[in-house]
Amino acid sequence: MDDAGAILQATLDDLGAAVMADDWAGFLRRVILPFELQTEAGKIAVQDAPELRAGYDEFQLMLRTHRVTHYLRHARRAEFDGPDRIVGSYSSDILSHGKRILPAYTSLMVIDLRGGQWCASRIVNRWSNDRWPVLTPKPIDDAEPERSRK
């Protein structure tokens, strides 16, 4: 994996570890606000930490409800878009004792270098969700989302 891919994977790993450990502070450190989530239903702008926290808490509830044991995300491809930005795609699997709790899905993530740390600023995916917070992701399919979706 090239440098951009390794950086994206490390960012995914850090975010995933924070989520699985229910480490809100660790998660927040790796997200740039305002944060944008683009789904098939439209753009969802998360403006501030309390709004992000609402989504984080809903996701934690989903993990506990489904007894999630593994939140796996694997970088598929990544490229630098300038010295301080990486755009890449990754696949996600959310498992409970080896069983998927929802279909695997692919997302596109933009990460930016801020204060010496790579942080998520935007995610594009093929979910049908249209509101924040997202209680349970609703993947349409595993196709890679388009980068420039408006």
Is pLDDT of 67 > 90?
yes
Mean pLDDT of the chain: 89
Tens-place pLDDT, residues 24-45: 999 999 999 999 998 888 888 9
Is pLDDT of 148 > 90?
no
CA-to-CA distance for 111 and 56, rounded, in angstroms? Answer: 18
Q: How far is CA 90 from CA 6, 10, 73, 98, in A?
A: 12, 12, 6, 20
Is pLDDT of 103 > 90?
no
Is pLDDT of 69 > 60?
yes
For the chain, domain boundaries:
3-125
Residues 6+ apart with CB under 8 A from 99: none
Contact 146, 107 (CB under 8 A): no
> What is the structure's pLDDT at 127?
74
> What is the structure's pLDDT at 42?
83
Phi-psi group of 84: left, alpha or beta (phi > 0 → left; psi -120 to 50 → alpha; rest → beta): alpha
CATH class of 3-125: alpha beta
Q: How far is CA 149 from the centre of its chain?
A: 17
